[in-house]
Structure formats: structure tokens, C-alpha cells
Amino acid sequence: MSVSMDLVKELREKTGAGMLDCKNALEKANGDINKAIELLREKGLATAQKRSAKVASQGAVGSYIHMNGKIGVLLEINCETDFVAKTEDFQKFMHEVAMQIAASNPRYVSREEVPEDVLAKEKEIYTKQLEEQKKPPQVIEKIVLGKIEKFYEDVCLLDQPYIRDDKKKIHDLLKELIAKLGENIVIRRFARFQLGEASK
């Protein structure tokens, strides 16, 4: 069936998906906008991984001030188009991530950013502790791997459990947003300031 441009525009405003995707989804859903939203979400989850190759050069810088001005966060999140950066979903995600940073104090965005020497030092500390406990080498190796995963959860924003739902991690929220909005979205960088804290 053919669908009106007004309906296509309405679906685009609700989902942030491309015009052609909206038109196709509405045609498949026989003009049912709610069914079309579901179809776009299903398609989005399947293509979220593919989006990561797209260049994310638009976006926004957000801020969050917590605890009567005792903690402040500046955050840059990028996407592919200015249109998506202005959507309510994008802005809400930015706010949630800024709150996460304020509450959980990560040091890096992702595990890829952790310097090799920092990782080596952590492994060395864990290994020494376990050697003192007279653990066998193969057991030590396994335990150290587990401890490193926990270290990533503590210091890497994307690996941190979400403060509102610890069954999800921040990278899960990010994938959901990519699926919903149909664009590559990247948490680029952040800075967290705590009153009276010495600069690093």
C-alpha cells in the first residue's frame, strides 16, 4: 500500500530513522504506525553492528552538575547527523551517561583506552597477591583474568553496570540507542570535576 508523506514524517520524528526506512516500514505495516515502529526497532538491532563503520562527526556536548555543585561532568557524544543529536532520545541518553560518570567516576570511555602500563601494573599486583597465597600458576592465570574484567568494570564507562539497572551495562544502553535511532553513536570523551579534588 502507498503511505502519505505526513505519516512518513511522523514516523521519522518518533524514531529518528531515515525517510526511506520509515516509508518501507509503514508499507509493510499497512500504515499502522506502532507496528512500523516495532519493525524499525527489529531492523535497527540487526544493523546496530553495521552502523559502527559510519563516521560520527555530529553530536553534542552535555553537562551535568550533581550534589549542590560538588561534582560536575562535561561529556561529548557523537552521531552521524545533527537531526539525531537534537532528538529527545539522544539528549536523554546523554543526561543518563553524564549522571553515570558523576556517580561511578570512570577513568576511561572504553577498555581500548586503558594504557598498557596501567594494565600490566594491575596484572602484576594481582599475580603477586595470588603467589603469596601459594596458588598454582594455571589457577593464578584464571583468577587474574577475572580480576582484570572486574577492573574494566570499575574504570571503563562502557563496561560499568548502569546505575539505574545493574543488569545492563552502558554499552548495552548504547547499542539500544543505535538500534532505535539508526545511526552510529559514539561516546567520545568526558571530564569529571569534583570540588577540592587534586588534578591528575
Q: What is the CATH number of the domain that holds 103?
A: 3.30.479.20
62, 105: one domain? yes
pLDDT at 46 over 60: no
So what's the pLDDT on residue 20? 81
Residues 174 and 172: their CA atoms lie apart, in Å, by 5
67, 132: one domain? no
Nearest to 195 by CA among 83, 80, 67: 67
So what's the pLDDT on residue 3? 81
Domain holding 18: CATH number? 1.10.8.10
Which pLDDT band, with edges at 50, 70 and 90, does 141 fall under? confident
Q: What percent of the chain has pLDDT over 70?
A: 90
User: Which whole number is the average pLDDT over 40-49?
Assistant: 61
90, 177: one domain? yes
So what's the pLDDT on residue 192? 95
161, 149: one domain? no
pLDDT digits (tens, 9 = 90+) for 151-195: 999 999 999 999 999 999 999 999 999 999 988 999 999 999 998
In degrees rounded to 5, what are phi and psi of residue 194?
-125, 130
In a domain, 200, yes or no: no
So what's the pLDDT on residue 72? 95
Contact in structure between 194 and 69 (CB atoms under 8 Å): no
143, 122: one domain? yes
17: its cell numbers: 530513522
Number of separate domains in the chain? 3
Range of the domain at 18: 5-51
Residue 162's DSSP bridge partners are 165
CA angle 149, 151, 152 (to 5 degrees): 65
47, 127: one domain? no
So what's the pLDDT on residue 12? 77
In a domain, 127, yes or no: yes
In a domain, 199, yes or no: no
